Amino acid sequence: MKKLIVTIFALLFLIINLSAQWEQVTTIPFGGNNYSLAVNGNDIYHGTLFGLFHSSDNGSYWSTIDFGGVDSCVKTIIIDGNYIYLGTPAEGVFVSTDAGLAWEARNNGLTNLAIHCFTIMGSSIFVATEGGVFVSDNQGILWTGINNGITNASIRALTNLDGVLFAGSDGGGVYVSTNNGQNWAVKNNGLVSWYISHLFTYGSKVFLGTDYDLYESSNNGNTWQTAGLGTYAKVLSSTSLNSGLYVGTDGQGVYYSTNGGGTWTEWNDGFQNKNVYSLAICGEEVFAGVCCGFGLWKREQLSVGIAEKSTPGNLVVFPNPSNGIITITNAIGSKIRVLNTIGITVTYFDNLQENTINLSQLSDGIYFVNIENPGNVIISRKVVKLSNTK
């Protein structure tokens, strides 16, 4: 009987460990590099070397989307409300306003069509190219170059935090702008390498990946320090939700942190390829796109929870859905950060002085409202913004 109980526990342990592994998504064609992932609700858009794919059921079934490019490669994707933006390596930007049914090229003003990434700040979208940074205030209908102070125009990464823009170059380090990209200043203090592979934000920090290590800054890039991921861990991708932060590397797989990047843990059980070009969270699962024909992978995300000093009943966010005017109880003095579904900060409120915030300027969609109280405790709430909500 004792032997039987031991055997049962051993089987249970094996089942639990097998379920907590990366699994290959077999319902999407394999082949080439899996460059980009973007999520909007249950919809996932996946850009690869050989085309654009879409799933409307959290990744169970996939269909191919013809976006009109001669070369089907999609390097980067970003979603802003009803607008989906694709960046290609040689044909510029393609935009859809109807969930990918119809597309049009929007390259007016772009002097370089090799697109690396996007970032959205307020009502403006910024694009990184091999010929510098461009901005559009009308959904890509017209682009304007904004490169005053940028001496290395091969811009590989973009992000923004609290109204400050960051642009990472291939050999010139990182450039920072505090006036919407009109002027840039080099901010490389503390960096060992100036070859920037990735930029992202989490909480009040900016993280920067190089071909040497992962760095972080809490003072708008004035100084950088290693984030402790490890020497020669080149970060290519990232995603986050609540207290879970994930990064994908070139050759070392995925690492996660549950304390804002203070410490990192390897998370590679089941992987066949550890060159992770893209990461995204949809529902309860993390999706990872890898290189060299090994396809798309998924794994149940960490149940890390949200640290809360007060009980959920003491902090209420309503109405939800809303038309953009949201009431938050017991949040006076807090810092409010609103993120879109891929973890990019779209607006923020410092030292809240009233119980309401106005998100009416944002496009309709799903957002995460992170409330950081004066005790540095972060509480997160998911909200839905719908313009026609009364």
Answer yes or no: are the C-beta atoms of 128 and 118 closer than 8 Å: yes
Cis-peptide into 321, omega within 30 deg? yes
Phi, psi (deg, nearest 5) at residue 106: -130, 90
Q: What's the confidence (pLDDT) of residue 350? A: 80
358 shares its domain with 262: no
Q: What's the confidence (pLDDT) of residue 310? A: 36
139 shares its domain with 202: yes
Distance CA 18, CA 46 (A): 26
Distance CA 64, CA 90 (A): 20
Output the six-digit token pair for 280: 């995204």
List the chain pLDDT tens, one digit each, 390 residues. Answer: 444 434 433 443 333 343 469 999 988 876 678 999 999 888 999 999 999 999 998 888 999 999 999 988 999 999 998 999 999 999 999 999 998 999 999 999 999 999 999 999 999 999 999 999 999 999 999 999 999 999 999 999 999 999 999 999 999 999 999 999 999 999 999 999 999 999 999 988 999 999 889 999 999 999 999 998 876 789 999 998 766 899 999 999 999 988 888 889 999 999 889 999 999 998 889 999 999 888 899 998 876 433 333 333 456 788 888 888 988 877 788 888 888 876 678 888 887 878 889 998 998 888 888 887 665 556 777 888 888 765
The set of residues, in sequence order, having a beta carbon less than 8 Å from that of 181 and lying 6+ positions away, is 126, 133, 135, 146, 165
Q: What's the confidence (pLDDT) of residue 276? A: 96
16 within domain boundaries = no
Query: Residue 335's domain is classified under what CATH number?
Result: 2.60.40.1270
Q: What is the pTM of this model?
A: 0.76
73 within domain boundaries = yes
pLDDT tens figures, 78-127: 999 899 999 999 999 999 999 899 999 999 999 999 999 999 999 999 99
Q: What's the confidence (pLDDT) of residue 373? A: 65
Answer yes or no: are the C-beta atoms of 88 and 49 closer than 8 Å: no
249 shares its domain with 373: no
115 shares its domain with 37: yes
201 shares its domain with 241: yes
Per the structure, how many domains does the chain have? 2
Long-range contacts of 313-318 (CB under 8 A, 24+ apart): 315/371, 315/379, 315/381, 317/369, 317/381, 317/383
Answer yes or no: are the C-beta atoms of 97 and 136 closer than 8 Å: no
Distance CA 24, CA 28 (A): 10
228 shares its domain with 360: no
307 within domain boundaries = no
31: DSSP letter: -
137 shares its domain with 273: yes
CA-nearest of 193, 198, 190 to 246 is 198
49 within domain boundaries = yes
247 shares its domain with 356: no
112 within domain boundaries = yes
143 shares its domain with 56: yes
CA-nearest of 376, 343, 338 to 241 is 343
Answer yes or no: are the C-beta atoms of 216 and 227 closer than 8 Å: yes
Answer yes or no: are the C-beta atoms of 300 and 318 closer than 8 Å: no
**Cβ-based neighbour number of residue 373 at 10 Å:** 19
**Angle (CA) 176 178 182, round 5°:** 85
pLDDT tens figures, 185-238: 999 999 999 999 999 999 889 999 998 899 999 999 999 999 988 767 899 999
184 within domain boundaries = yes
Distance CA 266, CA 254 (A): 6
Give the side-chain half-sphere CA count within 13 A for 66: 2
128 shares its domain with 223: yes
Output the six-digit token pair for 44: 């996932």
262 within domain boundaries = yes
Query: Residue 154's domain is classified under what CATH number?
Result: 2.130.10.10
Q: Is 218 exposed, middle or buried (0-12, 13-18, 19+ CB in 10 A)?
A: middle
- The residue among 261, 279, 300 that closes a domain is 300
106 shares its domain with 239: yes
Q: What's the confidence (pLDDT) of residue 385? A: 86
258 shares its domain with 332: no
- The residue among 300, 330, 364 that closes a domain is 300
Handedness of CA 323, 327, 332, 338 (dihedral sign): negative
Domain extent at residue 42: 23-300
Answer yes or no: are the C-beta atoms of 314 and 331 closer than 8 Å: no
217 within domain boundaries = yes
Q: What's the confidence (pLDDT) of residue 311? A: 35
- The residue among 300, 323, 358 that closes a domain is 300
